[in-house]
Each structure stands twice: as C-alpha cells, then as structure tokens.
Amino acid sequence: MAAADALKKPQTAYWLWLGDNRQNVEKMIGSKKGADVAKKAGEMWKALSASAKSPYEKKAKEQKDAYDKFLATDEGQKALGEKKAAKNEAKAEKAQKEEARAEKQAAKEDKKNERACKAALKEMKNEKDDKLKKPQTAYWLWLADNREKIVKELGSSKPTDVAKKGGEMWKGLSDAARAPYDKKAKEQKDAYDKYVASEEGQAALKAFKDAQQATKDQFKRKVEEGEEDGEDAKVESPPAKKARGAGAPKVKSAQIGA
C-alpha cells in the first residue's frame, strides 16, 4: 500500500455502509440532493440490526487498526511528517497569496482615494472666491485671448501643441504687444496682494486653507480606517471535525453530494 493511501483516515462503519448503499437511497427517495440523502441514510442506518451493521463495523475496525499500525512505524511517522509539512507549506502559500491580494487591493483603494482627494481639492480651487484666486501672468492672459487663433492655425486643439506654439509666439512678441498684458497682470497681482494682506482677505484665506486641510484629513481617515479593517479582518478556520463514531453521524450535504 502506498504511503499516501495508508495515511488516509479510515472510514467509520456508517460511511462504509453508505458507500455501498448510496444509489439505493437515492433511488428510494427519488433525489440525489445531499440533504435529502443524508436524512434518509441516517434514518436507515439507525434502524439497521446489529447483525446488518456488523460487517461494516468489522471492516471499519480493520481499517483503523491498519491505519494506527502504519502510523506507529518509522515509515508512517515519516510519511505523516511529510504530509504535515506539505499541508503547512500549502497553507503558508495560500496565506502569502491572500496577503499579496490584500496589499494589491489596499494600494488600489489608496490610489482611488488619492484621485478622489485631488479631484475634491481641484473643485474647491475652482469654486473659491475670485479674490482668492492667484492672478494670471501676462502670458496666460495673452493666451486666453489668442487660443482660438492658435488652434485654427495649427488645426489642432491638443494642449501640448497649443502650449508649444503659444510659447513660441509669445517669445516673438514685441514689448509694445506685450505691454497691455503686462499691465493687466500687474493690476491683478496688486489687487490680489492687497486683498490677502487685508483682515478680510486673511480670514478668507484661512477659511479656504482650513477647508482644504479638512478635506485632506477626511480622505486620510478613510485610508487609515481601511488599513485598520484590513488588520482586523481574519480568515476564520473551519471548525474541527469530530471523530466519527460507529453510529450514524450528522451527515453534511457537501459530503453526500461529493
């Protein structure tokens, strides 16, 4: 007998009987459903006479004696040790895969939260008081007035193409052509500096920064809570199997339908 077969747990008398009578039970109840078979088989086993159970009890005892005898040998101990080592290795590999999967999911959630946080902050910037918005430079003021012209000239509205062409055109402008935009940019900057230096501006700026920080903290808590959930989540081990007795066990449907 191969070591792998010798290490298989011996069956109880009931399971040996069921192996011989499963088809009869299924035919009798007209169903192969595990729960139905289990219920009927349990009833039939309990109703069997001692003489009818005897051959199965004898065979079950022979199997158990052979199993115990094998485990008592050096070969049996070695085979059992190898089996346990393989089982532990498989368990460790499974745990490693689960950990890698959890880390991947956590990283995915972090990126999702990071994108959501950036989007929320960007929206806040777009909606903030015009007085608090950083003044544009002369170049950007000029580009706003000339973007459509550049797009038409290029035949493309691709931002990188427009930016490249816009930069070239701006550098080629005369001081006189730039002057109106330089003047407007300076006026906007002076107005901005004056406002943020005022008591009203300071209060508005603080309120905006506080709101930004609150948004960042909110998403940070989300990430931390997610990490805590991941640490607390533990895979529950299946309940230990009870030793099978000679009587009819409480049969699980999964075992019947296997």
Residue 120 domain-assigned? Answer: no
- Final residue belonging to a domain, choices 54, 72, 90: 72
Residue 24 domain-assigned? Answer: yes
Cβ–Cβ under 8 Å, residues 124 and 211:
yes
Distance CA 11, CA 124 (A): 69
- The CATH number for 156's domain is 1.10.30.10
The pLDDT value given to residue 166: 94
Residue 200: alpha-carbon gap to chain centroid: 47
Looking at the structure of the chain, the number of domains it has is 2
pTM of the complete model: 0.42
Q: Which domain holds residue 39?
A: 3-72
Q: How many CB atoms lie within 10 A of CB 143?
A: 19
Distance CA 96, CA 176 (A): 69
The pLDDT value given to residue 139: 94
Distance CA 34, CA 241 (A): 19
Residue 216 domain-assigned? Answer: no
The pLDDT value given to residue 205: 87
Tokens 């990283």, residue located: 107
Q: pLDDT tens digit string along 133-187?
A: 889 999 999 999 999 999 999 999 999 999 999 999 999 999 999 999 999 999 9
Quick check: helix, strand or coil at residue 73?
A: coil
Cβ–Cβ under 8 Å, residues 14 and 56:
yes
Residues counted in the chain: 258
Distance CA 144, CA 140 (A): 6
Residue 38 domain-assigned? Answer: yes
Cβ–Cβ under 8 Å, residues 196 and 205:
yes
Residue 46 domain-assigned? Answer: yes
**169: CB partners within 8 A, 6+ apart:** 146, 150
Distance CA 147, CA 163 (A): 9
- Final residue belonging to a domain, choices 182, 197, 212: 197
User: How many CA atoms lie within 13 Å of 84's alpha carbon, on the beta-carbon side?
Assistant: 6
Phi, psi of 91 (to 5 degrees): -65, -45
Among 128, 116, 245, which Cα is nearest to 192's? 128
Residue 45 domain-assigned? Answer: yes
Cβ–Cβ under 8 Å, residues 144 and 196:
no
Residue 247 domain-assigned? Answer: no
Distance CA 196, CA 206 (A): 10
What share of the chain in percent tops pLDDT 70? 85
The list of the chain residues with pLDDT below 70 reads: 1-3, 127, 226-258
The pLDDT value given to residue 246: 42
The DSSP call for residue 240 is P
Residue 90 domain-assigned? Answer: no
- Final residue belonging to a domain, choices 160, 178, 197: 197
The pLDDT value given to residue 25: 94
The pLDDT value given to residue 102: 87
